[in-house]
Structure 1
């Protein structure tokens, strides 16, 4: 799984260009690329590959957004360090970034609610991730292996809670395996990680906070608003011809 993440991140620019104005179609194009990245990463798991195709698809559809959310904030912290937290910088794609307070998104093609309305609904949750992800990332100076472990925990726990059944059982087996892997990783680097129990507790705090936000918001207005936008995108055959 570490290799899979490394392979995906090989495309990332370490000097992304900043923008202040963007339309939702461009945001959505970033999402599409990361959907492919998530699918590629998931296929590095033996447990995932062994599932029937319809269950693979169900997991992917459930977890791609929360996977992207953690990975992008973590990548932002890796690239910009303390600046990321202090200036609220988020990396959107392999070559672009913005400052949270300076970004304007044109939603006019998918919603008549306007930027300020959508920002008031979505923005509060998005800015919380700087405290939930970026701040502890910088304090712990998380390694690539630890980032991967957190991603695995988020994906398996979220998919298991939402989908249950065989998917939950497969996720539990996978988490048991990677927990053993992480223990071995820490033992091999015991001089660097003397008190890794505390690190692990803080890492799991990130996982639990991510899950709590995602599960609580599942039926809230912010998700309903996004569904309205996606309904336009996926039901209008001419939508992508606008540009």
Structure 2
């Protein structure tokens, strides 16, 4: 132990998997690690009070930013908390977790100028009583808002010395808390907070901190900072490498290992007999006329008189104009190329007309307008399709669930319609449809039927989904523009909830609406590998004049 202490170990993380009972030995152990490098400690065994009282005064403990205690302990919480900790988890707390303990813990995180990503978790043992209602009553007296579900209650706090939002999640067995978002006006931008929280799937149980390094250059740099030197690399330590001292006999040069058929042909066995040179006729789809028509729509703005107070309500009025008033549906029994092309044309031009109701969008250059339109029209149509089907099911509860709306005024019965796929693929329609179909465990239509979003809410969902998706594809200046659009509409939805609906605690409802958008984007991401396989094996024989316009649409 003394020899190790002369040269302290430079590591960022220490995991102790045994129970600790001898304070002196534990202090000597921690003293072997460089306090300037050590940042994380996880103790899985049971820790006595004597041990904890000895370790919390060491320099190694004071410099930690990540502490996890999974064994039983009874030391007061605030005494355990290192001064600069970013993540603190206490998973088996034997003492009674009183409401005052929780309030003091939350106030410490709020008042000490906590960094973005700071996190704590205190979970009691099954034998320990935790008064959840009394805790919530005390927290609400200093909170800026809260939202309650069946499993937990989220209490939000405004941090006086920073622009962050602190959220404490109270369960029946404990409490969690984290600093989530850096926003300038927490009340007016609460909608933006909810959107980012749900879309990024940031939960209080799992938070990816700023100190996580995923790319190889970053990990290599951290190794250098921890003391790694290239001169210390040890080569030829593998006993199976081909050398004179190898345990594996050297194969003579003239001796050849028999090649497999896949190695001989030069392709994996799974596609061994696939002829990549087989001529395949492609169906050419020319959409230049749609680009020209959208250019005409954007180039001839129409003077309008709005009876709306903000951008979101003007877009909502535009949505009603685009949708129109459909009383009778036309049933289609065969989905041909013309029927699919008509659906593309309808949604592409409908989204173009809808965007003209957004004043800030009208101020963009024509090239930027067309780029955004080409990226968002198809994902906009997906959510609109689910919205129309949910309205139909809600208004006609006895109608078969196999009926679906393809576009405004057009309906098909999935059990009775025939899909003519000869223009799409050389494979039978049943096979190509089964391959490209990407089932999801989340029922988007069912969720919309249950939520019954208003026109303003549906407009916000369409805009948020479209701008979020397009921003990720475009990047650069276009992404900044679309993020600004989302900020403006987030302010508008906040005004709509608080002033028109008098709903000051709308956190839960907006979270459920954003989960719908999140499910749609997730399904698109999951379908991309299938489409790549379809291109490799020539399952789809379409060639577009503007292929970027149909990316993630299910046809390219």
TM-score above 0.5: yes
Taking the aligned partners of 2:539 and 2:494, their CA distance within structure 1 comes to 40
Taking the aligned partners of 2:369 and 2:544, their CA distance within structure 1 comes to 26
Residue 173 of structure 1 pairs with residue 487 of structure 2: no
Tell me, yes or no, if the aligned pair for 1:110 and 1:232 is still in contact at 8 Å: no
Taking the aligned partners of 1:182 and 1:74, their CA distance within structure 2 comes to 19
**3-state DSSP class of the match of 2:407?**
coil
Higher percent of residues as strand = 2
**3-state DSSP class of the match of 1:109?**
coil
Superposition map of 1:161-240 within 5 A: 161-190=472-501, 193=503, 195-221=505-531, 224=534, 228-231=540-543
Return the match for 1:140 from 428, 437, 451.
451
Q: CA deviation at 1:84?
A: 9.2
**3-state DSSP class of the match of 1:101?**
coil
Q: Which structure exhibits the higher relative contact order, with contacts defined as CA atoms closer than 8 Å and separated by 6 or more residues?
A: 1
Aligned residue number for residue 401 of structure 2: 87
RMSD after superposition: 2.8
Tell me, yes or no, if the aligned pair for 1:132 and 1:210 is still in contact at 8 Å: no
Higher percent of residues as helix = 1
Return the match for 1:36 from 332, 349, 361.
349
1:233–1:159 CA distance, 2 compared to 1 (3 A): closer
Q: TM-score, normalised by structure 2?
A: 0.38
Q: CA deviation at 1:64?
A: 0.9
Q: CA deviation at 1:194?
A: 6.5
Taking the aligned partners of 1:5 and 1:112, their CA distance within structure 2 comes to 38
Superposition map of 1:105-124 within 5 A: 105-124=419-438
Return the match for 2:363 from 34, 43, 50.
50
1:183–1:110 CA distance, 2 compared to 1 (3 A): same
Tell me, yes or no, if the aligned pair for 1:4 and 1:41 is still in contact at 8 Å: yes
**3-state DSSP class of the match of 1:92?**
strand
Aligned residue number for residue 65 of structure 1: 378
Cα deviation per residue 1:81-135 (whole Å; 9 max; x = unaligned)? Answer: 274996132211222201233332101133212211221023334xx49x44211
Return the match for 2:330 from 17, 36, 42.
17
Tell me, yes or no, if the aligned pair for 2:436 and 2:530 is still in contact at 8 Å: no
Q: Which has the larger radius of gyration?
A: 2
Return the match for 1:101 from 403, 415, 420.
415
Taking the aligned partners of 1:123 and 1:83, their CA distance within structure 2 comes to 26
Q: CA deviation at 1:62?
A: 1.2
Taking the aligned partners of 1:184 and 1:105, their CA distance within structure 2 comes to 46
Aligned residues: 230
Q: CA deviation at 1:46?
A: 2.6
Q: CA deviation at 1:22?
A: 2.4
| Structure 1 residue ranges, 4+ long, deviating more than 6 angstroms after superposition | 232-235
Tell me, yes or no, if the aligned pair for 1:38 and 1:64 is still in contact at 8 Å: yes
Tell me, yes or no, if the aligned pair for 2:331 and 2:410 is still in contact at 8 Å: yes
1:134–1:80 CA distance, 2 compared to 1 (3 A): same
In terms of mean alpha carbon deviation, does 18-27 or 29-38 score higher? Answer: 18-27
**3-state DSSP class of the match of 1:97?**
strand
Tell me, yes or no, if the aligned pair for 1:77 and 1:137 is still in contact at 8 Å: yes
Taking the aligned partners of 1:23 and 1:234, their CA distance within structure 2 comes to 21
Aligned residue number for residue 389 of structure 2: 76
**3-state DSSP class of the match of 1:51?**
coil
Tell me, yes or no, if the aligned pair for 2:336 and 2:419 is still in contact at 8 Å: yes
Residue 27 of structure 1 pairs with residue 340 of structure 2: yes
**3-state DSSP class of the match of 2:438?**
helix
Consecutive unaligned residues in structure 1, runs of 5 or more:
236-243
Cα deviation per residue 1:116-174 (whole Å; 9 max; x = unaligned)? Answer: 1221023334xx49x44211111111111111010011111000111111111111111
Taking the aligned partners of 1:220 and 1:84, their CA distance within structure 2 comes to 35
Taking the aligned partners of 1:219 and 1:62, their CA distance within structure 2 comes to 19
**3-state DSSP class of the match of 1:29?**
helix
Tell me, yes or no, if the aligned pair for 1:72 and 1:91 is still in contact at 8 Å: yes
Q: CA deviation at 1:77?
A: 1.1
1:170–1:234 CA distance, 2 compared to 1 (3 A): closer
Taking the aligned partners of 1:144 and 1:223, their CA distance within structure 2 comes to 39
Q: CA deviation at 1:232?
A: 6.9
Q: CA deviation at 1:21?
A: 2.1
